[in-house]
A and B are shown apart, each in its own frame.
Chain A
Amino acid sequence: MATETENLETLVNRRYEHGFVTDIATDSLPPGLDEGVVRAISARKREPEWMLEWRLQAYRQWLEMAEPEWAHVHYPKIDYNSISYYAAPKSDADRPKSLDEVDPKLLETYDKLGIPLHERARLAGVAVDAVFDSVSVTTTFKAKLSEAGVIFCSFSEAVREHPELVRKYLGSVVPRRDNFFAALNSAVFSDGSFVYIPKGVRCPMELSTYFRINAANTGQFERTLIVADEGSHVSYLEGCTAPMRDENQLHAAVVELVALKDAEIKYSTVQNWYPGDEQGRGGIYNFVTKRGDCRGDNSKISWTQVETGSAITWKYPSCLLRGANSVGEFYSVAVTNNLQQADTGTKMIHIGPNTRSTIVSKGISAGRAQQAYRGLVRVMPQAHGARNHTQCDSLLIGKQCGAHTFPYMEIKNPTAKVEHEATTSKISANQLFYCRQRGISEEDAVNMIVNGFCREVFKELPMEFAVEAQALLNVSLEGAVG
């Protein structure tokens, strides 16, 4: 929380903290996309033939598809041929075996980002699979995880080491042709994380990946696949920052989660990509497909996200509730300030009997930002006893921002109980005055009220993440009031 000694002026003008560029030579492909590029990416990663074939099919499907236009966002047309589809740190050919071998400049970058791998990872009991540009460069806590039988590695490694698992689950939740951006990702994905939790195992630590975009003009196409086998449990944390850039950068990730019988996956995100400056220059285009499949009975998938970054966000972490009694949850805080645009929400597809879902969405819009909640609750005819509760609240700060709500409810079963509540309001003058009468500055009062507004979501985050998320929220709204 901002302290009173900090001058409001400096707070308002504080630039994006993580805006710097690390000077590392990158081994990049020239801009442009054709089959040759897809083959080149696959070759560089020394992928087996089946993986290349999968990518090529995705590429051909992508060519047939059109970029979606229904979202409540506006941006200049993206020229997919001006993007470079592969960049890797130079040391890729000779991957470091331990942290000591990692390029010191890279470690310095993580330090600036506030991710001291050595201490913090160990102290927090977190295994960090740090992604720099497109290729994983370091993984810790491997021993402890492998002892438990947990596989946590880069996607490339998984393709080589665990092809049977990857082939079985890749694209089984988000098919290649699911949507334009998913198809693009399927063709050119660079790297990402793979997690497999064996039957009955409770993952001994929180798994975490820090994403970061660096090389100029490089699209980032992460692919994450998490499989929780029967009766297992895993909590995965994803956090992101990006350096300041004047050109827009495209990010089209795909995250697939599979929860088998009695398994539980908790996926938490704090997203703080560069949102562009006060004039809306620069910033990340974040077009992500995240979907979880509660494939087995009594399984549970829970998405929690705190989103403060990106120039444009297009993102709907979803749950397919297939197994009987399976549970889907979505807890979200999205903050948009200045000229940010976000169209985000969730889909809960109730397929199995007695499936339950909870949606809590808190949107905060300030400056000239536009934010839309778009959600779908669908109860299929066979989903007897399905339950959904949705709470969707928007808070407006300032006269020029917009907050929009587009919830779709499609109910095809008479035993379903579906409830949706939504409110839109501004921070009340009475609340502000009440806090100020108790001696609390306006800035602090706003932070306090906003944090109170988001409390239901923050309490779903792992402790250390919750603290970060609150701090992030306060920084994101600096200068929004007054």
Chain B
Amino acid sequence: MLEIKDLKSRIGDTEILRGLSLSVNAGEVHAIMGPNGSGKSTLAQVIAGHEDYEVTGGSVTYKGRDLLELDPEIRAREGIFLGFQYPVEIPGVNNAYLLKAALNAKRKHRGEPEIDAFEFLKTAKERMASLGMDPKFLHRGVNEGFSGGEKKRNEILQMAMLEPELAILDETDSGLDIDALKAVAAGVNALRSPERAIILVTHYQRLLDYIQPDFVHVLSGGRIIRSGDKSLALELEAKGYDWVREAVAT
């Protein structure tokens, strides 16, 4: 589904990704771990198409197409969803409105009719209930005055509604209490299917107790320095990132 080869990227004069390669197939869950500043968030932003990050080398292929050529909104309509580390507040814009506009943009892209207003509300409320969100959040400004946990739940709600093929969750677990973490994990697990892939970007092992990844990658200095299965995450937790770095160096 997603094929990243020797990807290099920088922001301003700072080189962040220095030849990163990663292959993700449908049905898989990948966890990308690494210390602060290793390039985890940059990878997520580059896949989503943020224009501040300049791609200086390598390639990214998504469903057989050159992903780097596409505008961010086209990537989204093609099924890529980024759960933001810091979800943005948009004052005055109704949460339900954004959700509906996003959903319809995607449906239109696929030649499907717009969603029925009643059906939309019904689905949205169901999904919110399963995420433990108060339905009144639908009618508030997008993330406006939301707490950290509320913002993250809102991201998962959007993901659940948009049903992406490739979901990238950038530090979705950070700043969550245990109840919120469980709700978010349940939302992600509900989305798991043989047609979908999920990339979890995280600093801690904690999230992986609730979402079992198929692969764990360690990112350091803009490259994946080690890949393995779930046990790698546990080993990291026990021994710290320095351990991998040293192991790789020797």
Residues of A within 8 A of B (CB): 4, 428-431, 433-442, 444, 448-449, 451-456
User: Given the complex of chains A and B, what is the CA–CA distance between A480 and B106 in angstroms?
Assistant: 25
B90 lies within 8 A of A436 (CB): no
Interface hits, B156-203 → A, CB 8 Å: 158, 162
Given contacts A439-B76, A444-B101, A452-B141, contact A434 B87 (CB under 8 A): yes
B88 lies within 8 A of A438 (CB): no
B87 lies within 8 A of A4 (CB): no
Chain B residue contacts of A428, Cβ below 8 A? 88
Given A433-B72, A436-B72, A455-B93, 5 other A-B residues pairs in contact with their CB atoms under 8 A: A436-B76, A437-B72, A438-B101, A439-B162, A452-B141
Given contacts A4-B108, A448-B101, contact A441 B73 (CB under 8 A): yes
Q: Residue B109 at the A interface, CB < 8 A? A: yes
Chain A residue contacts of B75, Cβ below 8 A? 437
Q: Residue B97 at the A interface, CB < 8 A? A: yes
Chain B residue contacts of A435, Cβ below 8 A? 90, 98
Chain B residue contacts of A449, Cβ below 8 A? 90, 93
Chain B residue contacts of A440, Cβ below 8 A? 73, 98, 101-102, 105
Checking A430, A438, A444, A455 against B76 with a beta-carbon cut-off of 8 angstroms, the contacting residue is A438
Chain B residue contacts of A437, Cβ below 8 A? 48-49, 72-73, 75-76, 81-82, 84
B102 lies within 8 A of A438 (CB): yes
B: number of interface residues (CB 8 Å): 33
Given contacts A436-B72, A442-B73, contact A454 B92 (CB under 8 A): yes
User: Given the complex of chains A and B, what is the CA–CA distance between A442 and B108 in angstroms?
Assistant: 16
Chain A residue contacts of B49, Cβ below 8 A? 436-437
Q: Mark B134-147, 1 if CB is under 8 A from A, else 0.
A: 00000001100000
User: Given the complex of chains A and B, what is the CA–CA distance between A215 and B191 in angstroms?
Assistant: 64
Chain A residue contacts of B66, Cβ below 8 A? none
A439 lies within 8 A of B50 (CB): no
Chain B residue contacts of A438, Cβ below 8 A? 73, 76, 98, 101-102, 105, 158, 162
Question: How distant is A128 from chain B, measured CB to nearest CB, in Å?
Answer: 31
Q: Mark B25-62, 1 if CB is under 8 A from A, else 0.
A: 00000000000000000000000111110000000000
Chain A residue contacts of B72, Cβ below 8 A? 433, 436-437
Q: Residue B77 at the A interface, CB < 8 A? A: yes
User: Given the complex of chains A and B, what is the CA–CA distance between A451 and B82 in angstroms?
Assistant: 25
Given contacts A448-B93, A449-B93, contact A431 B88 (CB under 8 A): yes
B92 lies within 8 A of A456 (CB): yes
Given contacts A448-B98, A451-B92, A454-B92, contact A436 B77 (CB under 8 A): no
A453 lies within 8 A of B91 (CB): yes
User: Given the complex of chains A and B, what is the CA–CA distance between A430 and B51 in angstroms?
Assistant: 10
Q: Residue B214 at the A interface, CB < 8 A? A: no
User: Given the complex of chains A and B, what is the CA–CA distance between A428 and B90 in angstroms?
Assistant: 9
User: Given the complex of chains A and B, what is the CA–CA distance between A437 and B158 in angstroms?
Assistant: 11
